[in-house]
Structure 1
Amino acid sequence: MAMAFMSLIPTQTRSNSLSFPSSPIFFSSQSPSHRLLPRPINPSSSSSPPSISIRASISPNPPRAATTAFDLQKDVALERSAPSLPFRIGHGFDLHRLEPGYPLIIGGISIPHDRGCEAHSDGDVLLHCVVDAILGALGLPDIGQIFPDTDPKWKGAASSVFMKEAVRLMHEAGYELGNLDATLILQRPKLSPYKESIRANLCELLGADPSVVNLKAKTHEKVDSLGENRSIAAHTVVLLMRK
């Protein structure tokens, strides 16, 4: 017995728009060429379904993933040709090992501790996380692709450099920060004495009012590497708004 599967399938027009035909389309397994055949409309129907047209940017040759900050120029230009979204949400995550002999830098602030983040750059887990959240909201490659740890020029680099580039890309794409919520996870040291300094520096790097930047710090209840003071992690969620 022949089987038919109902499917609404968009068709490409000359203007690079996606249009849904007014008649539903079905796929016939009896057709050796897998043709799409119009399904007859019930003549007793009072009116046919309306035609829906969706604008979209269609590129026959998708751009390769950017590998450096400079490669993102073309990516941002392509992003502008996509449908203009009033809001974009991004999530960032980062984790670093804690080892003796390294400075502990969080949000651009040096925190006294007997160990710090082992990393190619300064290992600022919070700024790395925020950068990834912004890049994610813009639909761009992650921080490891744009600032690879195989490139010697980023050896020991201050993470504020990465932040400034992410903020530049955000504005260039036509967005501004709506709000940011970040959570630091570490067992030690206690961050209460440093939270406001970290938040103030984060606001300065973002060019944002303190009322839209939230920072929380939690322990990991002595569970796994985070709870054993062998690592530090951070989560960040950002909301970007069209200017």
Structure 2
Amino acid sequence: MKIKVGFGFDVHQLKDHHPFMIGGVNLAHHKGAFGHSDADVLLHAICDALLGAANLRDIGFHFKNTDPQWKGISSIVLLKETMKLLREKGWEVNNVDAMLCLEAPKINPHIPQMQQNIAEAMAMSVDDISIKATTNETMGFIGREEGVVAYAVCLIQK
């Protein structure tokens, strides 16, 4: 059996009166993440962790932000496509551990739904998807609510 670890990172600008998708959940907030797709920072970090672990480059390589095909698309679709790429190479995912960093809104009430969305997209158990959240203690661009950051690690096996 071969085992590999992957790490992913993503950041998106926050803009007033913009939708805020995280983990496939549309959060009610006065600001939202801005990007070519739905700007779901958590799913993008997970995709990058998975692709990196399998040595399949990164999310921008597979889903270019200049390609109209991906404009406004749900990042759940990107995660499903990422899983297809991994499985085509014989990889299965053991687990994902992710961290969100933002000041608001509170993420904790939404974590079970995010885990469910991600587990379904990856055809995995919710027990294998860990999501945590923290603030930046009002410091920097995150503290000023100018952006949101996500980190993810994963373990894959063949």
Interval containing the TM-score (normalised by the shorter chain): over 0.9
User: Secondary structure of the residue that 2:43 maps to in structure 1?
Assistant: helix
Match of 2:82 in 1: 166
| Aligned partner (choices 182, 190, 200) of residue 106 of structure 2 | 190
Q: TM-score, normalised by structure 2?
A: 0.96
Q: How far, CA to CA, are the matches of 1:187 and 1:207 in structure 2?
A: 31
Amino acid at match of 1:237: V
* Distance in structure 2 (CA, Å) of the matches to 1:241 and 1:151: 31
Q: Aligned partners of 2:39, 2:45: CA distance in 1, in Å?
A: 11
Q: How does 1:44-83 map to 2 (within 5 A)?
A: none
Query: Relative contact order (C-alpha < 8 Å, sep 6+): which is higher?
Result: 2
Is the counterpart of residue 216 in structure 1 residue 108 in structure 2? no
- Once the two structures are superposed, what CA deviation does each residue of 1:29-87 show, in whole Å capped at 9, x if it has no partner? xxxxxxxxxxxxxxxxxxxxxxxxxxxxxxxxxxxxxxxxxxxxxxxxxxxxxxxx610
CA offset at residue 101 of structure 1? 2.5
- Gaps (5+ residues) in structure 2? none
Deviation for aligned residue 1:206 = 1.1
1:121 aligned residue: 37
Q: What is the match of residue 141 of structure 1? A: 57
Q: Which runs of 5+ in 1 are unaligned?
A: 1-84
Identity %: 39
What is the TM-score with the length of structure 1 in the denominator? 0.63
**Aligned partner letter, 1:181:** D
1:234 partnered with 2:150: yes
**What secondary structure does 1:182 align onto?**
strand
Counterparts of 1:192 and 1:133, CA distance in 2: 22
- Name the counterpart of 2:96: 180
- Say what the alpha-carbon RMSD is for the aligned residues: 1.0
* Deviation for aligned residue 1:89: 0.8
Partner SS, residue 18 of structure 2: coil
The amino acid that maps onto 2:75 is S
**Alpha-carbon distance in structure 2 between the residues aligned to 1:141 and 1:159:** 17
Q: Whole-Å Cα distance in 1 between the matches of residues 77 and 60 of structure 2?
A: 14
1:110 aligns with 2:26: yes
Which is greater in Rg?
Answer: 1
Shift of 1:241: 1.2
Measure, in 1, the Cα distance between the counterparts of 2:4 and 2:26. 32
CA distance in 2, matches of 1:164, 1:212: 16
Number of residue equivalences: 158
Deviation per CA, 1:147-170: give whole Å up to 9, x if none.
111112211111112111111111
Amino acid in the other structure paired with 2:136? H
Indicate the SS of the match to 1:234. Answer: strand
- Map of 2:116 onto structure 1: 200
Which 4+ residue blocks in structure 1 deviate beyond 4 angstroms?
none
